[in-house]
Structure 1
C-alpha cells in the first residue's frame, strides 16, 4: 500500500513539474519580439535613466553647443514624446530657455553641418509645445543650410554645390547624412513644407551614389578605405530618420530604400554573436563599440517597425543589439566603450587605437533613439 501511494505521489509531482516544450516557431517569435523585455531592460526604464542623466548634466561645452549634445537632446525629446512625459518635455524646454537670452552665444551659427543640426532641437520643441519661437529659430537654421554660401567657412567648392542645388555645407563625409537630413526632416515635420524633405532626399541620393560601397557599407571618406563603426552609424540613422517621413510617392524613395536595405543586409552579417558591432565593422579583432551598436540597432528597430525589413530576420538582430547595448550602462547611467571623436585617417591601426570613453554623448544619444524607436507605434 505504501509503495502504491508513493507511486501516485511521484506521478502527480511529474504532472506538475514536467517541462514546458517551446516550439521552434515560438522560440523564433520570442527572439524577434520588440515589444516585451525583461524587467530592468525595457525601453521605458532605460530611456528614463539616460534621459534624466542628460537633463541633470551641464552643457557639454561652455562656449557652444555641438552635435553630440544636439543628438542627445533630440533623443530625450523623442523619448519624452513616446512616453507622454510632459514633465520631462518641460525640463528639456527649460534647458533651452536661457538660449533665447543670457546664453544665446551658445547657439551655434548654421554654417557647418555639425552646427546646423542643432535646429532639430527647437523644431522638436515646437512640435511638442507649439511655441512659435522654437519654430522660428529651427526654420531659420534649416533655410540657412540651403541658402547661398556665406561666412568664413564658405569657399569656391561651397558655391559649386550650391549652384547644383545641394547644400553649400556639403563635404561628402558620411557623418553629414545624419546632420543634414535630421534638421531638414524635422523642418518638414514641423511645417509640412515639402521643400525640406525634397532637399534632404536629393542630398541623400547624391551621397549614396558617391559613397556607398558594393557591400552596402561606407568608407569613412573616399580616401580612407575603412568601415568605421560610428561613421556608418550616422548613415544608418540618417536614412532611417529620412525614410520615416519621406512620402511614399516621393521619386527618390525607392533609391534611398535600396541603399538602406543593402546596408542593413551587410550589417546583419557583421553583428557579433553577443549582439554588438565593432569599432571597425568588418574587423573581428576590433573592440565592441557602443555608439555604432546603438545607431545600427536604432536603424533596424525602425526598419522592422515600419515594415521595411523582414521582422523574422531583423527582429532578432535588433532585440539582441538592444539587450547587448544596455549592459554597457554603468550605475551612473553612463554608457561605456564609446569611441572618442574621430577624424578620418588612412591608417587601420589608428581606428583600433582610438580612446574609449564613458558617458560621451556620442554614445548616450543612440540609446535614447533606440528607446524611443522601440516605443514608437
Structure 2
C-alpha cells in the first residue's frame, strides 16, 4: 500500500517548520520545545525500545508536567499515561531516574493538603482520574499522607459523578448523557485499583459490579452488530448533532477510541477478583473486540487506520497511537491467557509495522513516534461532528503522549 500524503497542521508556538507525515519522510520533525529542552545526552541505541522511548520523552520533556507539550503544570490524563510506562520501565530496570520522573510530577501537582493543582472536581471530567493510577503506585511505595488525600479526593468524584439512566458515567459534565469509549480507560482501571487497595466487603463488591456495568453498557449501546467494532460515543438523550436520532450513536469507528477501550479491559482485569462472577463476561468482550479489529488490520503493514473500517478512502492514514494501543492489548491479553496465543503473533506484526513505518531515530539516538492524531472528540466548541472528514482532518503530530505511552507499554509486553 502506498501511503497517502497527509495534510498536517502545525502546533502553535511549538512547531519549527512544517510537520510532515511518514508518507513524505521517515525523519520526524521536532518542535522548538524539544530542541530547547534537550540535554544533549545521547540515548543508547543498544537499549530496548521501551527504555529508549522513555528516555526520549524525558529528553523532550525534562519535567513530566510538560508531557503533551504543556507550557505550565496541569493535571491531565496524558501525563499519567506516559508515567504508567515509566513505572513499568522502572520496575524492570530499577533505574532511579525513572522513579524520580514519576515522583516529580506528583510532587509538582499535589499540594501538602492533598489538593491537586488545576483539578476541579465540580467539572466531573472522567479524564482526570487516569493520572490517579500514578498516585496509587507512588502511595504503595512512599506512604505520604498527601498522596492518600489526593487519591481520596479523586475517588470521591465518582460518588456524585453524573450518570446515564442505567448508571453509566457521563464523559464530562459538559457532555450530558454521553458515554465515550475513551472514558472507560480514563476511569475504570483507577476505580478498580483503588477498590482493590482500599475497599472491603460489600463496598468493594458494589464497586466491582459498578465497574463491570460500565463495560456492559458500552457493549449494549456502542457495539455495531455487523462488524463487531464499537462507535466512538453514544448520547442517551439523542440530542447531539453528531448522534443518530434513532440510536444516539456517533457515526464512525475512531481507532484510538477503540484503543482506549481495549486497554481498559486488560487493565481492569488486573484488579477484578478472579472469583468475580462477571469476570468471564469481560474476557468475552475482549475476544469479540479483538476479532473485529483483526479484520480491519492492514495486511501489508500490520497497522490500523485512523478511521478503522475506511482504509482505502481519501485522507485516511495509518495511525500510531491506536496501533500501539492494539498491540499492547493483544500482547497483554495473550500473555494473561484472556486471548488465544495467536494474538501475540498478531501483536508482533503490528509492532513490527510501527517500528518500520512510524518510528524514526535522530543522530543522538532520540526516538520519535510519528503520525499520531493529536486529539479527537465529539461536540464541544468548536463543534466536533464525528464525521469521517472530521477525524481525518484533525491535527497529526509526532511524539504525542497518547502514542508514546502506549508504545512504551506495548514494547514492554513484547520484550517479556
Query: Which of 330, 336, 350 is equivalent to 1:321?
Result: 350
Task: Count residues in correspondence.
Answer: 326
Pair 1:235 & 2:261 matched: yes
Pair 1:200 & 2:215 matched: no
How far residue 232 of structure 1 moved from its aligned partner, in angstroms, is 0.9
Counterparts of 1:278 and 1:44 in 2: how far apart (Å)?
23
Query: Which of 169, 175, 184 is equivalent to 1:177?
Result: 184
Note closer, same or farther for the CA distance 1:95–1:81 as it changes in structure 2 (3 Å cut): same
Note closer, same or farther for the CA distance 1:198–1:363 as it changes in structure 2 (3 Å cut): same
Counterparts of 1:250 and 1:54 in 2: how far apart (Å)?
43
Match of 1:172, SS state, is strand
Deviation per CA, 1:247-284: give whole Å up to 9, x if none.
22212212211111001011112211212111111112
Counterparts of 1:283 and 1:105 in 2: how far apart (Å)?
41
How far residue 40 of structure 1 moved from its aligned partner, in angstroms, is 5.5
Q: Is the 8 A contact 2:110 2:150 kept in 1?
A: no
How far residue 172 of structure 1 moved from its aligned partner, in angstroms, is 1.1
TM-score relative to the length of structure 2: 0.71
Q: Is the 8 A contact 1:216 1:259 kept in 2?
A: no
Note closer, same or farther for the CA distance 1:55–1:340 as it changes in structure 2 (3 Å cut): closer
How far residue 365 of structure 1 moved from its aligned partner, in angstroms, is 1.4
Q: Is the 8 A contact 1:41 1:326 kept in 2?
A: no
Query: Which of 323, 340, 351 is equivalent to 1:310?
Result: 340
Match of 2:228, SS state, is coil
Indicate the residue corresponding to 1:125 in structure 2.
138
Deviating beyond 4 angstroms after TM superposition, the runs of 4 or more aligned structure 1 residues are 102-105, 164-170
Query: Which of 64, 73, 78 is equivalent to 2:74?
Result: 64
Counterparts of 2:319 and 2:50 in 1: how far apart (Å)?
23
Note closer, same or farther for the CA distance 1:85–1:212 as it changes in structure 2 (3 Å cut): farther
Higher mean C-alpha deviation, range 93-102 or range 359-368 = 93-102
Structure 1 unmatched ranges of 5 or more: 1-38, 150-157
Match of 2:156, SS state, is helix
Note closer, same or farther for the CA distance 1:168–1:355 as it changes in structure 2 (3 Å cut): closer
CA RMSD, Structure 1 to Structure 2 (Å): 2.7
Deviation per CA, 1:315-346: give whole Å up to 9, x if none.
11111222222342333433110012112324
Higher mean C-alpha deviation, range 176-185 or range 46-55 = 46-55
Match of 2:131, SS state, is helix
Indicate the residue corresponding to 2:389 in structure 1.
349
How far residue 298 of structure 1 moved from its aligned partner, in angstroms, is 0.7
1:236-315 alignment, distance < 5 Å = 236-272=262-298, 273-285=300-312, 286-311=316-341, 313-315=342-344
1:1-377 alignment, distance < 5 Å = 42-50=48-56, 52-53=58-59, 56-57=62-63, 58-59=65-66, 60-61=69-70, 62=72, 64-101=74-111, 106-110=117-121, 111-145=124-158, 147-149=159-161, 158=162, 161=165, 165-167=167-169, 171-191=178-198, 193=200, 194-195=204-205, 196-214=207-225, 215-222=227-234, 223=243, 224-272=250-298, 273-285=300-312, 286-311=316-341, 313-327=342-356, 328-330=358-360, 331=362, 332-344=366-378, 345-374=385-414
Note closer, same or farther for the CA distance 1:54–1:262 as it changes in structure 2 (3 Å cut): farther
Match of 2:280, SS state, is helix
Higher helix proportion (structure 1 or 2): 1
Q: Which of these two proteins has the greater Rg computed from alpha carbons?
A: 1
How far residue 69 of structure 1 moved from its aligned partner, in angstroms, is 1.9
Q: Is the 8 A contact 1:54 1:72 kept in 2?
A: no
TM-score relative to the length of structure 1: 0.77
Note closer, same or farther for the CA distance 1:357–1:304 as it changes in structure 2 (3 Å cut): same
Higher mean C-alpha deviation, range 192-201 or range 181-190 = 192-201
Match of 1:125, SS state, is helix
